[in-house]
Chains A and B, each alone.
Chain A
Amino acid sequence: MIQVTNLRKGFRGQQVLKGVNLEFASGKITTIVGTSGCGKTVLLRHLNALLRPDDGAVLIDGVDIAKLAQKELYEMRSKFGVLFQGAALLDSMTVYDNVAFPLREKTQSTESEIKKKVEDRLDQVGLGAMGGKFPAELSGGMKKRAGLARALIMDPEIMLFDEPTTGLDPILATSIHQLIARTHATFGFTGVLVSHTIPQVFDISDYVAMLANGVIEEVSAPKSFCASQNPVVQQFIQGKTEGPIHVL
């Protein structure tokens, strides 16, 4: 269980998160939606302590992750898999080596064990024949798939997805959503997904949380979210420029 309590974060005098309270149910996918620049990624990066809060806490199974010492923090981070917005593949390595990298660095597995597991994961994301390619030789969608394979290689309990479909065409975006749903069904992780690809992302979400003006405005199941009378939610869903969300 991940609990975010009264989380506040600012950068150079600009307050981005103004007291976020949110719980992520274990084994479910929760999608955080909101306008561009509203702080979704900032919130996501607090969950595995890539950012430290100015105030408030992120509790993973009751443990405040921001207060852990380096060694304990790295043990805690071993529970996480992260798919970054640009996939963040190490560009000096092939796709195969990228996916094998956490196993080589964090486990005592033999090369034959690593090979079997990496090939399994690459097959699961549809990149079975692409192991020898370098990230620069892949399309955007392939990079995301490779990033997902790497994130899943350590069998994480929690998966963080930072805008996994940004920059992809609608068909590719749907295929990435289906891939996330499929891997979730296989591995049963707790998923936290940051996206503004609505309504498509609702299909794979158990819960949707709306971040606006630095706070969580609404958390509910996708159907209830769409039917919400909250003007902030309605403005976002309908894409209106007039309303309680300040648009530049």
Chain B
Amino acid sequence: MVSFLGATGRFALEQIAAMGRLFSFLMSAIFLAFRRPAKFYLIIHHIKTIGVDSLSVVALSGFFTGMVMGFQGYYSLRKFNAESWLGSATALGLLRELGPVLSAFMVTGRTGSAMAAELGTMRATEQIDALDSMAINPIKYLVSPRIIASLLAMPLLTAIFDVIGIFGSYIVGVNLLGVSSGSFFAGMENSIVFHDVYSGFVKSISFGLIITWICCYKGFYAPPMASGVSQATTESVVLSFVLILVWDYFLTSIML
């Protein structure tokens, strides 16, 4: 009984310590992002890896998501003789919810996992220790630029996802299912307000932060061995997905 309590207490303490380390890692990265000298060339490099390199997968998934929404929306709205609201329903769903969440999932899979694997490998091959021993703060050099880059790239990727998704829905709704083009856009124009765009924008920024934070943390503190790197990569993707969905719930309830 005593040993069970001891093990439980030890486990609880370890979890609390891990959470403390996770938050202090984020605070350090944000604090160091504002310390001079600024690493503009690294920020631009990571905007390319997070943003430009994820563009094709985000565009493709946005297009097919929009087309599926076109079919499903048409099927549901037809029951109420409200097919003309297809554009409005699709745009609201994409702008407020699916755009930020799905593009965040795509970036997690495409770039977040790569971040965790890269930093994990750098840990295993002593490159992070080498930076530290050269008196170069590894968090400032490796993590802060990635965080800034993700804050800039994620809203843009989400916006592209939204636009291409609406285009996909338009093709299915108007060209395949016969919804009028005028009513598709008129419904959208009447029902979309700035708050819908704004809430999607806030979500995409916060998801960008979550992805970079979790994936960099997992890679940075990966056990220095091959299995440690693979474990860190898996954990970073799974934890990012879960946190994105949990945070999405809270943001949605606040910003509804």
Residues of A within 8 A of B (CB): 45, 48, 50, 70, 74-75, 77-78, 80, 82, 84-86, 88-91, 101-102, 105-106, 154
Residues B126 and A86 in contact, CB atoms below 8 Å apart:
yes
A58 to chain B, nearest CB (A): 14
A180 to chain B, nearest CB (A): 18
Q: Which A residues are CB-close (under 8 A) to B127?
A: 88-91
A78 to chain B, nearest CB (A): 5
Do A90 and B126 form a contact, CB below 8 Å, given A74-B135, A75-B135, A77-B135? no
B83 to chain A, nearest CB (A): 53
Do A80 and B133 form a contact, CB below 8 Å, given A86-B125, A91-B127? yes
Instruction: Tell which of A70, A82, A101, A105 touches B133, judged by Cβ atoms closer than 8 Å.
Output: A82
Judge whether B14 is part of the interface by a CB distance below 8 angstroms. no
Q: Which A residues are CB-close (under 8 A) to B129?
A: 45, 50, 84, 88
Judge whether B2 is part of the interface by a CB distance below 8 angstroms. no
B238 to chain A, nearest CB (A): 26
Q: B135-151: which residues lie under 8 A (CB-CB) from chain A?
A: 135-137, 141
B125 to chain A, nearest CB (A): 6
Residue of A nearest to B118 (CB): A92
B237 to chain A, nearest CB (A): 22
CA distance A88 to B129 in the complex (A): 8
CA distance A102 to B130 in the complex (A): 11
Residues A84 and B130 in contact, CB atoms below 8 Å apart:
yes
Judge whether B5 is part of the interface by a CB distance below 8 angstroms. no
Q: Which A residues are CB-close (under 8 A) to B125?
A: 86, 88, 91
CA distance A77 to B125 in the complex (A): 20
- Number of residues on chain B facing chain A (CB within 8 A): 14
Q: Which A residues are CB-close (under 8 A) to B122?
A: 90
* 21 residue pairs bridging A and B, Cβ less than 8 Å apart: A50-B132, A75-B135, A77-B133, A77-B134, A77-B135, A78-B135, A80-B133, A82-B133, A84-B126, A84-B130, A86-B125, A86-B126, A88-B127, A88-B129, A89-B127, A89-B130, A90-B127, A101-B134, A102-B134, A102-B136, A105-B141
CA distance A78 to B134 in the complex (A): 7
Residue among B125, B126, B127, B135 facing the most chain A CB atoms (10 A cut-off): B135
Residue among B127, B129, B133, B141 facing the most chain A CB atoms (10 A cut-off): B133
Residues A90 and B133 in contact, CB atoms below 8 Å apart:
no
- If A48-B133, A78-B135, A90-B122 are given as contacts, then 17 extra A-B residue pairs at C-beta distance below 8 Å, sorted by A number, are A45-B129, A50-B129, A50-B133, A74-B137, A75-B135, A77-B132, A77-B134, A80-B133, A82-B130, A82-B133, A84-B129, A85-B126, A88-B125, A88-B127, A102-B136, A105-B141, A106-B134
Residue of B nearest to A154 (CB): B134
Residues B135 and A90 in contact, CB atoms below 8 Å apart:
no
CA distance A91 to B126 in the complex (A): 11
Q: Which B residues are CB-close (under 8 A) to A78?
A: 135
B144 to chain A, nearest CB (A): 14
CA distance A78 to B136 in the complex (A): 10
B56 to chain A, nearest CB (A): 22
Residue of A nearest to B133 (CB): A82
CB 8 Å contact bits of B24-51 with A (1 = contact, 0 = none): 0000000000000000000000000000
CA distance A154 to B130 in the complex (A): 14
Residue of A nearest to B141 (CB): A105
Q: Which B residues are CB-close (under 8 A) to A77?
A: 132-135
Residues A105 and B134 in contact, CB atoms below 8 Å apart:
yes
Residue of A nearest to B134 (CB): A102
Q: Which A residues are CB-close (under 8 A) to B132?
A: 50, 77
